Chains A and B, each alone.
Chain A
Amino acid sequence: MTVFFIGLALVLLAGIAAVAVRSRYLAGLLIIGGCAAALVPAVRVLAGGAAPEVRLALPGPGGPWVFGIDPLSAAFLIVVLVPGLASALSGLRDSRPVGALLFAIELVALALVVTARAVVPFMAAWEVMAVIAYFLVIADHDRAEVRRAGLVYLVATHVGMLALLALFAIWAGAGGGLTFADLAARAPLLPAGGAVVLLLALVGFGVKAGLVPLHFWLPDAHASSPSAVSALMSGVVIKMGIYGIFRVVGLIGLPPAWFGWLVLGIGVSSGVLGVLWALAQHDLKRLLAYHSVENVGIILMGLGAGALGVTYHLPFIAVVGFAGALLHTLNHALFKSLLFLGAGSIAHATGTRTLDQLGGLGRRMPLTSVAFLIGSAAIVGLPPLNGFVSEWLVYQALLGSGGAGGAAMPAMLVGVAGLALVGGLALACFAKVCGVVFLGKPRSAAAELGHDEGGSVVGPLFGLAAACVAIGVAPVVAVRPALAVGAAVAGAPVAAAGLVGATAGMISLFALGVIALLGLGAVGAGVVRRRRPVGAGATWGCGYALPSPRMQYTASSFAAPLLALFGPLAGVHTSRSADGAAFHSEPRELVLDTALVPAWHRLRAGLARMRTIQHGRLWVYLVYLIAALLALLLYLTGFLGTVRG
């Protein structure tokens, strides 16, 4: 564990170096060294080593501060540090030195959240992470929408914090120990199988993870922050909510059946609604933020299947479900960071994030477009990339092992159909994004300014893309550790997963075969093309003489048929001008605009009526004071009178 803490200290030093010495190179080197050092014990634990633990008896309430790296923490350390490092390196370039320091503190807080083994250090690190994230989000605080996004995020995260405090208070009970081991020991004594605890965990960690309907802060916060911060928040900070739910499920031991069904249902609805709302967006970063909601839904589907497997004593479903959720957490961190960094590069180069003003960037930003395309194919779940591997694991869990699992059968239909619909909608959405942004002709003057940024931006992009391809082509590297961690959380032997680990090798062959055939085909097509008369011309437009770039299909038109199917659930608000000559559509955040904001306004109106008490007349305030004192005296003497008598 000392290596781990040294690594975290190096990361902090990198932030301080960015502020004190103003040297970006030094900060970059230190952060690479720090993350690498902190990863060493995690990799050692995943490779089968013993789980280290350290107890620090600090003065103050709450017992000793325990930190440890067990397999779940090790897996999430990789999720935190690898994409976090890529985002940090990419953000070093155009962040202010204070931003770099805050980023470093955020990384350290995230690593500490994942390795804390007692309530007090967990909550302390959680709060530091949440508040520093707020400061990172409002980096551009001159703009009103950024301030509003930050405020909504702050309120939401503290509502979650309250739920977490209640969760741990109820769980530890009066005078109980506050380490995770003590909580696990107390779990069988919880009333109603821990119903209240589990619901509070879903609310508290769900706000951070962004599951529907607790996701309302996510789109604004992720869209308004700088791209490296969006990459960190979407790729890493959201996963802390997932880590929390994993940890609670692991500590509870035997979750009740309704919990697994609830998580599966929330997963399906988050997945479908998330990608549907993503389809409706005109803004590139808001679209990517809604896709995070969708992927959290997929992760929860795996988690729900795993929880059901634990409840019904089906070790295959338990192990494979948790493994699928874990692997999808890592995969999503990788490709979502890649997509956000690419979106940031596009926004920085062209100055706009609106899809319908971009276009033709494939020629102007070739490197960024290739990396973004790989990230898009990965997030849709297409072989031979990594998204396919984790979705395959979740499908395996939902189907169960042949024959067994009578009680879990109906889950399969909803889960499998939901996951298939999510995949299809995601394909439509990312075909829209890649096609409208990178292909065709530039739709505005802003799009013509696109250019590839320097190596410090494109480098992390290709690093993340290479990781996506590597996991897709050699899934055994990731599937076996994921199965081991899933088994540790489920409390079942790894062998319960059966041949899933070996089948990952077959996927490897299949993926390599597809890539080899594609390469051969491309080479062959090139050879054939060279032997034919090839001409160039304009795109056929049925003989129309003067096509303009504005005549291309727009992103909102591309998504319109799918959105029309879902009606008001898609949250698209359309308006026409009085003479019908102008048409405007805008996506609305349904939960925020139809439920929370009106509820808040009604609450304010109701509370405003109480303002009549506060009218500024001093003598009435004195009457209030005297009345309160008299009432207190009467209460005390009456009480004392009855006690005496």
Chain B
Amino acid sequence: MTIWTAVDFVAVLALGPLLKGVATRTKSLLTGRRGAPVLQLYRDLARLWQKGAVYSTTTTWIFRVAPVAAIVTTLAAAALIPFDGREAMVQFAGDFVAFAGVLGLGRFLLILAALDTGSSFEGMGASRDATFAALVEPALFTSFVALALATGERSLGGMLGSGTASAWAHAAPSLAMVAVSFFFVLLAESSRVPVDDPATHLELTMIHEVAILDHSGPDLALLEYGGALRFAVFAALPIGVLAVRATVPPLAGLGVLVLGSLGVAVLAGVVESSMARLRLSRVPQFLAAATVLAALGVILQVLA
């Protein structure tokens, strides 16, 4: 682990809210509005952090622990990703299972916090959240299998970092499909269109937003920041596949990471402004498409 690994990690921690601002600004510009400032989420987080909180009398300690768990698990998952294109802060064989597992831990506690409030809105959001999360897992793991086959590595640090350089030479179509599959997974996991609409104000049409409806004050700040960090972590997956940084100097690698993340955010904004959220019964087909793409990536390599 070099100093640049830590620098890139801290850069991602700092940049997370910026990415969400860029995506929202892109969508606003494309729909003919000026939109909120790009740094708005930072101001929102600072404002929420100063506020007090109101807790429902129905809730228990799980409701209070869930925002902390969401942040901590997203940080732990981020520690497994090689942001500098070479190695991750924590790296071991099979750590992609730990990546999905620790994110699942955060999601488990968030769903429980939603059911803790005893509200039917939040129960509905929790149920849909759980459904889509269950369908994202096969897509994520199949993509990791394709990467493992292409690079011959067993850890995320190798799959998304040093291993991809040689993999592009002989498995380029598979890697392209894996990158698209990762983008679909990003849209699903960060609750963006076409899986969920982050800008809707109707509780019955919300999924993730309604699951965290009752949180307020610092808890909500933690959850919003956690969501932004989640976007940055999942954006690093297609960037890791597409942008090989093992051979460039570390400072250029950091620049590529920042520009790539901004590019992914702009792309997410373009998708958000050009299509509506899918009907709930169609979202599983979208997630199945991600799985099938990754599976094609695997099959192409097995046949080759």
Contacts and interface: CB of A to CB of B under 8 A. Distances in A.
Classify the interface of chain B: helix, strand, loop or mixed: helix
Contacts of B280: 561
B93 A500 contact: yes
Contacts of B137: 420-421, 423-424
A537 B93 contact: no
Interface in B85-138: 90, 92-95, 97-98, 100-102, 104-105, 107-108, 111-112, 114-124, 126-128, 130-131, 133-138
A608 interface: no
B98 A392 contact: yes
Interface stretch (B24-32, B35-43, B65-73, B192-200): B65-73
Interface in A529-587: 529, 532-542, 547, 549, 551-553, 557-562, 564-565
A31 to B, nearest CB: 35
Interface residues of A, number: 82
Contacts of B59: 539
A439 B98 contact: no
Interface in B135-186: 135-138, 140-142, 144-145, 148-149, 152-154
B7 interface: no
A549 B117 CA distance: 11
B1 interface: no
Interface stretch (B48-56, B229-237, B239-247): B48-56
B121 A542 contact: yes
Interface stretch (B10-18, B210-218, B267-275): B210-218
Contact of A428 (B134, B149, B219): B134
Contact of B90 (A428, A510, A517, A558): A510
Contacts of A525: 64, 67-68, 218-219, 222
Given A441-B118, A507-B98, A420 B93 contact: no
Contact of B152 (A402, A439, A518, A532): A402
B100 A410 contact: no
Nearest to B105: A382
A413 interface: yes
A553 B120 contact: yes
A425 interface: yes
A362 interface: yes
A423 B130 CA distance: 11
B250 interface: no
Interface stretch (A68-76, A162-170, A289-297, A429-437): A429-437
In the A-B complex, the 9 residue pairs with the smallest Cβ-Cβ separation, listed nearest first, are A553-B123, A435-B115, A424-B134, A533-B52, A440-B118, A420-B141, A506-B92, A424-B137, A428-B130
Given A382-B108, A539-B117, 7 more contacts: A399-B94, A399-B154, A436-B115, A499-B93, A506-B92, A534-B52, A558-B123
Interface of B: 51-60, 62, 64-65, 67-69, 71-73, 75-76, 90, 92-95, 97-98, 100-102, 104-105, 107-108, 111-112, 114-124, 126-128, 130-131, 133-138, 140-142, 144-145, 148-149, 152-154, 203, 213-214, 217-219, 222, 280-281, 284, 291, 295, 298-299, 302
9 contacts: A382-B105, A395-B97, A420-B142, A427-B108, A435-B111, A514-B72, A525-B67, A525-B219, A540-B213
